[in-house]
Structure 1
Amino acid sequence: MPGFAQTKDFSKDLFAQYDHYKETAITNRRFKHKDLVPLIQKLPFEKQVAGKSFEGRDLYEIKMGSGKTRVLLWSQMHGDEPTATMALLDIFRFFQSENDGFDALRQSILTNTTLYFVPMLNPDGAERYQRRTATEIDMNRDALRFQTPEGALLKKLQDELKPEFSFNLHDKNTRYSAGRSGKQATVSFLATSYDYDRNWNPARTKAMQVICQMSETLQGFIPGHLGRWNDEHEPRAFGDNIAKWGSSLILIESGGYKDDTEKQFIRKLNFVAILTGLQAIAEQSYTHYTLATYEALPNNDRYLYDLLVRNAEFDYHGKIVVKDIAIDLIEKNIRNATSFTIKSVIEDMGDLSTFWGIKEIDATGLRVRPLADFPEIIKTYALSKEDIKDKELNLDEKANFVLARGKEVKYVIVNGQIK
């Protein structure tokens, strides 16, 4: 065991100085393999093309450190889950720096661990900004058949490296809440189960303990916005199988945070969390954490909508009915999946008092009216015939309406967004 009298907590300084390490060449979630490769190729670390995707894109493995404990980290096995890939680029820049107050941290990690990184494991999916591979397979359900070359590579690396710890880095739906609350689960963790009974062996216990240290750190930056992913066993998933194969598997799921559409703040949180986890592994500072601390993390739940309008009045032929309106905003890829448009969907109406909105409107005393009733609004916002065609609000349709008190317009909602 390394001879550290007391582990120094670098997390606040890492958070404060993050901008020094941020890879500014990529600040948009829909970056592609061609954007990533030049950044990897110029790294001064040991690196190799470990394999190729189905469509022939190079899959890189980057190695650093010389320590006894092997750690394997991979990102973006789902092509539309890029947050951790961006954070890994920042971490690469961090490990190239010196004389910045973190030399002791870098030395601790690199002398006690050997790190293997595979950023963007699914570049074909990233090209389309979609979850699945080019062959429409969910790679994270391919840990038994290995029909994807990318999944087969991950298995090969596990077999060859036999990492003591593995980091499985994902994104998730931004509407997950931290338990039964109105707070987004910005980051969720899981010490993945290796069997249906969700038993605890030494490897899973170590993953749980490292997670406790990472979550304790992030609580200082996003209190109440952390969650624990469902540990129901999925026998086809890589995380579950890697845990079964003996590695301490740490799942990090990046969710949403208000006004962080491109996930740049959550990228920063990943940067701090991963380095905190690597320090904990290097210095074995995690061993005092208990299962009770881990289980105190609230479950990842679904109690959020993008917009929740509360207590709106609907006029049904002279009879007033009060309803809440839940609206989600769905991204649709455009321009070869380099950008997106928004399509709103009315998900539910009625009594939604047990749910929350990432954004909310208190519409008490306000009447729902169609956009077509307000010619001045149509002109102001240059609305199309498509925008104003709906006279009523219906489930599973676009959200276009006005909230008014008499003739006074209080809110204009176009395509689910407050104007």
Structure 2
Amino acid sequence: MNKLFTSMCLFFSFLVSAQEFEDILFNNYEKYKVSGFSQRRTAAQLVYAELQRQNKNVFKVKPVTTSIEGKPIYLVSAGRGETTVLLWSQMHGNESTATRALIDVFEFLQQDDELNAFRKTLLSSLNLHFIPLLNPDGGEKWQRRNRLGVDINRDALRLQSPESQILKKVRDSLQAEFGYNLHDQSRYYNAEFTSKPATISFLATAYNEEKSINENRSKSMQLVLSMNKVLQKFTPGHVGRYSDDFEPRAFGDNIQLWGTSLVLIESGGYFKDREKEFIRKLNFVIILSSLHEIATKKYAQNDIDDYEKIPRNDRKMFDLKVFNLNYPLLDKKYLVDMGINQNEVEDSSENGFSYSGALVDFGDLSTYYGYESFDAEGYTYLSPKTYRGSLKEISEWDLLKQGYAFKTYPHIEGNYTFKNVILNRIKAGKGYSDATKKVNFFLKKDDVIKFAVINGFLIDIEKQELPQGFNPKIE
């Protein structure tokens, strides 16, 4: 029996060694993905409960301070190696992708399977420290700033917030050799000169105005290059390089100055991934694979001259780009493009938000891109109409075919619940704003309405299928 077990271990070791570590992590992610964290708006209590569940033989979990509102902030530690690494997430309360990925990282580190050799390398070579959810007050309110209204990432000098104070204290006490500053960025960033969203952006932060490169910053650049190589396997072209303009108040810049090789990781957008579940997976892979690079010192083989070859971040994405559209005005037609975003608006719904379309730009948008792009050549813009009748004898799909984008409802006190509706709702006797009209229109070809844009979402009327995440506007 022992011989059989040994043979099986050797067999699994051979399989693992035949593949790259990052490939194994990517292909087996579902084994380590922790349930209950599929939405970006994750309650602090869920995170706390998960931290208390960690294997005490692997992790030491302790509260190190409290937020302004008295919520605990935890330090999670693992490993006994000589190289100290500090990772923290969600210093901006509405940036939770990396927090969810760290929960998955913890799950990986405490499992017992064919990747034990990698775990042993990590935990014997590294001294790991994590501060997940540094800003729990902001996280609960889904806001960038803390309860005081301070941007923690601009409080590295004054240290007015307890969240800022503990980050500085932990960094100084550990004298960490490497640091990971884990954030989310706008989904509207793209890799410069490409139509690809900057799904992950990196920065080896500058520590002075001159953007000098010393040994610490050089190591940051080398580590970024290791992570970039991994991402090019799974999301080629979806990596950006964040601006390295020096910000004297920021933690990333100052931690680099204080002697820790700091890497900023920004999670942006990806196609059909509004809740950033795929991006969470990418964070899991690059965090663990880069820690392995640190443990084995393989990152040091990278040439820092390649750092500048990573495309810079640009901001030229829309949720919807409609281009080559004939736009009638005063008996003339004009060729225009439309750039539309679907902004999140906080509400009391199950998701905690709904979408509100907004026209961001109008004109020649040939240098811009869309998560969804529609070539409207041959189509003419048609303004929306409002339907005031009963829906007993006609479906909303039929109303779309006739150019109706709005439906009135009684103007009386009380809350209305609108489920499975397509047309925007406005109160009887009320109109809709000009801004609302701009993201509700129809595309007509050969005198037939083919497509509708409702609340900034493109709908193929013939297919009668609503796009993912769609909701009409209720005014």
The two structures, once aligned, show a CA RMSD in angstroms of 2.1
Bigger mean CA deviation after superposition, 6-15 or 408-417: 6-15
Bigger mean CA deviation after superposition, 330-339 or 158-167: 330-339
Q: Deviations over 1:58-91 (max 9, x none)?
A: 0000000000000000000000100000000000
Is the contact between residue 440 and residue 453 of structure 2 (CA under 8 Å) also seen in structure 1?
A: yes
Alignment of 1:147-166 (within 5 A): 147-166=160-179
Aligned partner (choices 55, 59, 63) of residue 69 of structure 2: 55
Give 1:79's aligned residue. 93
For structure 2, the residue ranges without an aligned partner over 5 or more in a row are 1-16, 388-397, 408-420, 460-475
Q: Deviations over 1:105-131 (max 9, x none)?
A: 111110011000000000100111111
Please tell me whether residue 401 in structure 1 is matched to residue 441 in structure 2: yes
Aligned partner (choices 259, 264, 269) of residue 251 of structure 1: 264
Give 2:25's aligned residue. 14
**Alignment partners' CA distance in 1, 2:179 and 2:169:** 14
Segments of 4+ in structure 1 off by > 3 A? 385-391
Aligned partner (choices 329, 345, 348) of residue 342 of structure 2: 329
When normalised by structure 2's length, the TM-score is 0.83
Quick one: structure 1 residues 25 and 65, their matched pair in 2 at CA, closer, same or farther if it must change by over 3 Å?
A: same
Alignment of 1:146-225 (within 5 A): 146-225=159-238
Is the contact between residue 200 and residue 268 of structure 2 (CA under 8 Å) also seen in structure 1?
A: yes
Deviation, structure 1 residue 382: 3.7
Q: Kindly, what percent of the aligned residue pairs are identical?
A: 41
Q: Deviations over 1:352-410 (max 9, x none)?
A: 1111111111111211111208882237834323799569x76x975111111243112
Alignment of 1:280-295 (within 5 A): 280-295=293-308
When normalised by structure 1's length, the TM-score is 0.94
Q: Deviations over 1:292-343 (max 9, x none)?
A: 2211110011111111110111111211111101111111122399521111
Is the contact between residue 204 and residue 264 of structure 2 (CA under 8 Å) also seen in structure 1?
A: yes
Give 1:3's aligned residue. none
Give 1:415's aligned residue. 455
Aligned partner (choices 419, 422, 425) of residue 381 of structure 1: 422
Quick one: structure 1 residues 48 and 7, their matched pair in 2 at CA, closer, same or farther if it must change by over 3 Å?
A: farther
SS in 1 for 2:219: helix
The AA in structure 2 aligned to 1:115 is L
For structure 1, the residue ranges without an aligned partner over 5 or more in a row are 1-5
Please tell me whether residue 38 in structure 1 is matched to residue 49 in structure 2: yes
Q: Deviations over 1:145-202 (max 9, x none)?
A: 1111101110010111110000000000001001111100000111111001000010
Is the contact between residue 129 and residue 333 of structure 1 (CA under 8 Å) also seen in structure 2?
A: no
Is the contact between residue 185 and residue 226 of structure 1 (CA under 8 Å) also seen in structure 2?
A: yes
Deviation, structure 1 residue 285: 0.5
**Alignment partners' CA distance in 2, 1:179 and 1:54:** 39
Is the contact between residue 127 and residue 337 of structure 1 (CA under 8 Å) also seen in structure 2?
A: no
Give the aligned length. Answer: 411
SS in 1 for 2:47: helix
SS in 1 for 2:336: strand
Give 1:313's aligned residue. 326
Quick one: structure 1 residues 140 and 368, their matched pair in 2 at CA, closer, same or farther if it must change by over 3 Å?
A: same
Aligned partner (choices 260, 277, 291) of residue 290 of structure 2: 277
Aligned partner (choices 237, 249, 255) of residue 242 of structure 1: 255
**Alignment partners' CA distance in 1, 2:18 and 2:298:** 7
Please tell me whether residue 123 in structure 1 is matched to residue 164 in structure 2: no
Is the contact between residue 359 and residue 438 of structure 2 (CA under 8 Å) also seen in structure 1?
A: yes
Give 2:473's aligned residue. none
Q: Deviations over 1:185-229 (max 9, x none)?
A: 000111111001000010110111011111101110000101111
SS in 2 for 1:231: coil
**Alignment partners' CA distance in 2, 1:238 and 1:163:** 14
Is the contact between residue 7 and residue 285 of structure 1 (CA under 8 Å) also seen in structure 2?
A: no
SS in 2 for 1:46: strand
Give 1:27's aligned residue. 38
Give 1:302's aligned residue. 315
Is the contact between residue 426 and residue 432 of structure 2 (CA under 8 Å) also seen in structure 1?
A: no
Is the contact between residue 88 and residue 119 of structure 1 (CA under 8 Å) also seen in structure 2?
A: yes
Give 2:418's aligned residue. none
Structure number with the bigger relative contact order (C-alpha 8 A, sep ≥ 6) is 1
The AA in structure 2 aligned to 1:372 is K
Deviation, structure 1 residue 55: 0.4
Give 2:464's aligned residue. none
